[in-house]
Amino acid sequence: MERKLISAAAVRALCGGISDMSLWRWLNNPAMAFPKPVTIQRRRYWREAEVLAWLDARAEAREVA
């Protein structure tokens, strides 16, 4: 399932119910290193595996700190 694409709404829900503006900020902040979307017919989709890996990396970084 590494190729599964999810919508912006699904990404926001997966990331704890963040707003569309928060998602935009994460995408435009290089320090966040948030996965870039794939655009299909003017809609944004993310690879679910990349978003989950990003969330796992942030959780591990918090545990170390």
Listed in sequence order, the DSSP H helices in the chain are: 8-14, 20-27, 48-64
Cα–Cα distance for residue pair 25/34, rounded to 1 Å: 10
Domain ranges, ordered by start, for the chain? 5-64
Which stretches in the chain have pLDDT values below 70?
1-2, 65
Beta carbons of 55 and 16 less than 8 angstroms apart: no
How far are the Cα atoms of 1, 10, 12 from residue 18, in angstroms, in the given order?
A: 24, 10, 5
Query: pTM, whole model, 2 decimals?
Result: 0.88
pLDDT at 65: 65
pLDDT at 64: 75
- From first CA to last CA, the distance across the chain in angstroms is 31
pLDDT at 62: 82
